[in-house]
Structure 1
Amino acid sequence: MSQLSACSVYVFDAYGTLFDVHAAVRKHEQSLGPNAALLSEIWRNKQLEYSWVRSLMGKYRDFWTLTEEALDYAFAKVPDADMSKRTDLLDAYFALEAYPEVRSVLERLKAQGNELAILSNGSPDMLKAAVEGNGLTDLLDHVLSVDELRTYKTAEAVYELVGTVFRAFPEAVSFQSSNRWDIAGATAYGFRTVWINRTGQPDEYGDLSPAAQLKDLEGLLLL
Structure 2
Amino acid sequence: MPYPVYIFDAYGTLFDVHAAVRRYADQIGPDGAKLSQIWRDKQLEYSWVRALSGRYKDFWQLTEEALDTAFALVPSVDRAYRDDLLTAYSRLDCYPEVPAVLRTLSEGGAKLAILSNGSPSMLEGAVEAAGIGPLLDAVLSVDQLRTYKAHPDVYDMATSQFRTFPDKVSFQSSNRWDIAGATAFGFRTVWINRAGMPDEYLDLSPAAVLADLNGLAAL
Please state which band the TM-score falls in when normalised by the shorter chain.
over 0.9
State how far apart, in whole Å, the 1-side matches of 2:144 and 2:15 are.
21
Paired residue for 1:29?
25
Correspondence for 2:85: 89
**Deviation of the 1:20 alpha carbon:** 0.1
RMSD over aligned Cα atoms? 0.7
Partner SS for 1:11: strand
Query: Do residues 70 (structure 1) and 61 (structure 2) align?
Result: no
1:116 aligns with 2:97: no
Structure 1 contact 152–158 (Cα < 8 Å) conserved:
yes
Structure 2: gaps spanning 5 or more residues = none
TM-score normalised by structure 1 residue count: 0.97
Deviation at 1:33, TM superposition (A): 1.4
Shift of 1:221: 2.4
- Using the TM superposition, give the Cα deviation of residue 42 of structure 1 relative to its aligned residue in structure 2, in angstroms: 0.2
Query: What SS does the corresponding residue of 2:127 show, helix, strand or coil?
Result: helix
In the alignment, the residues of structure 1 paired with residue 183 and residue 116 of structure 2 have an alpha-carbon distance, to the nearest angstrom, of 16
Q: Is the 8 A contact 1:33 1:82 kept in 2?
A: no
Deviation, structure 1 residue 29: 1.0
Distance 2:218 2:36 in 1: 32
Aligned-pair CA distance for 1:13? 0.1
| Residue equivalent to 2:130 | 134
Deviations 1:91-143 (A, max 9, x none): 00011010000000000000100000000000000000000111111000000
Provide the residue aligned with 1:180 in structure 2. 176
1:73 & 1:178 partners in 2: Cα distance? 24
- 1:49-88 superposed Cα distances (whole Å, 9 cap, x missing partner): 0000000100000000000000000000000001100000
| Structure-2 residue corresponding to 1:206 | 202
Distance 1:73 1:114 in 2: 41
Q: Is structure 2 residue 154 aligned with structure 1 residue 158?
A: yes
Q: Identify the residue that residue 189 of structure 2 maps to in structure 1.
A: 193
Contact 1:194 1:213 in 2 (8 A): yes
The list of structure 1 runs, each at least 4 consecutive aligned residues, that deviate by more than 3 angstroms after superposition, is none
Question: Which residue identity lines up with residue 196 of structure 1 in the other structure?
Answer: I
2:34 to 33, 38, 46: 38
1:48 has 2:82 as partner: no
CA separation in 2, counterparts of 1:49 and 1:198? Answer: 20
Answer yes or no: is 1:11 the counterpart of 2:25.
no
User: Are residue 20 (structure 1) and residue 16 (structure 2) matched?
Assistant: yes
1:116-171 CA-partner distances (Å, limit 9, x unpaired): 00000000000000001111110000000000000000001000001111001000
Gaps of 5+ in 1: none
- Check the 8 A contact 1:10/1:116 in 2, yes or no: yes
Aligned sequence identity (%): 66
In 2: Cα distance, 1:66 partner to 1:150 partner: 13
* Pairwise CA distance, 1:48: 0.1
